[in-house]
Each structure stands twice: as structure tokens, then as C-alpha cells.
Amino acid sequence: MKRQIVLTLSCACALLVGGCSSGEFEDLNRFVEESKQDLRGRVEPLPEIKQFEAFAYSAFDLSDPFRPRDTDVAGQAPAGGGPAPDMNRRKETLEAFPLESLKMVGTLEQKRIRYALIRTPDKNLYRAKVGNYMGQNFGIVTAISETTISLKEVIQDPANGGWNERTASLQLLEQ
């Protein structure tokens, strides 16, 4: 009996639910159609492609700014001339460093010989006297005062291959 009541109630509920709907979903269909209209993407047209203009490089005949000039100026030492450095002598320790990286930190005098105290970039301390070499340009120490080391460097002229002398100095490092 209970089974029959449950079956009857189930059928009645199904009929009620089925009978209430008209089977048409006009409002739902209208909403879907309106939504579809808004979802269509709009693609902008492609930009107009500008015609490429080829550049013709015409400076091949000009001189290269990164190469030394080949000028023949009167009074210059010819190739191989001038005060050439002694390539056969043994290099000294301070010649391994550029002159700009060496620092004069003081002077010392022993047996009437004045020495300059030089600090290298690797924090080692060396002494140099007149006649010693330092720097990578064959620099020879010509004078030592309490505040300055004077040097004479021999550098190669890239234009003609000759050698030229120039003076350089190291000042006492103030601490």
C-alpha cells in the first residue's frame, strides 16, 4: 500500500511540473541572442605598410676614424729612428703595471740614495731609485723628490713606427 501511494504521488508531481511549463523559453532565447550580438569581435584593419627606402652607403672612400693618419710631417723621426728602448734588458717588477695604477706612498733614504715607495694595485710595496724602470711604456725614473717621481717614457709612434720620448710623473698619494 505504501508503495502505491509513493508511486501515485511521484506521477502527480511529474505531471504538475511538466504541465506548468509551456515548453517555450522565449526570454531565455532572447537573452542568448542579445549576448551573441555583443560577443562578436571586431578586428581593426591592418596598418598600411610603408615602402622601405634602401640606404646607399657612400663613405667607403673616407678615412677610417679609428686608424692613425698616414701623414708625412717634416721633423718626425723616420721608422726605426729615435730613442728606441732596450728590448734585451731584463724587465723589472714595476714594469708589469700601467703607470696610472702605481701609487707613490712615500720616500726612503739609505746610504745617501733616495728611494720612492711604490704601492701596486695588488697592494704590494716596492722601492724604486733613479735609473729603475716602471710602467708599461719603458719608463725610467729620472728624479725623485719628497713628493714626486719624474720619469722619461719611450713610446712607439703608431703613424711611422718610430719611438718618441715623453715625460711623466707620479705624485705622492695624500692620505
| Residue 65 in domain | no
| Residue 35 in domain | no
Q: Could you list the pLDDT tens digit for every one of the 175 residues in the chain? A: 788 888 888 877 777 766 666 667 788 888 888 877 777 677 888 888 888 888 887 777 777 777 776 554 444 444 555 678 888 889 999 999 998 999 999 999 999 999 999 999 999 999 999 999 999 888 999 999 999 999 999 888 877 778 888 899 989 877 6
Domain residues for the domain of 120 are 102-171
Is residue 151 within 8 A of residue 135, CB to CB? The reply is yes
| Residue 56 in domain | no
Distance of CA 137 to the CA centre of its chain: 27
Half-sphere exposure of 56 (CA within 13 A, CB side): 1
d(CA 27, CA 33): 10
Is residue 94 within 8 A of residue 126, CB to CB? The reply is yes
| Residue 136 in domain | yes
| Residue 151 in domain | yes
d(CA 33, CA 39): 10
Measuring CA to CA, which residue among 152, 149, 167 is closest to residue 102?
Answer: 149
State the pLDDT at residue 74. 42
Measuring CA to CA, which residue among 137, 53, 68, 38 is closest to residue 96?
Answer: 137
CATH at residue 119: 2.30.30.830
State the pLDDT at residue 142. 94
The number of domains in the chain is: 1
C-alpha cell at 7: 508511486
State the pLDDT at residue 12. 77
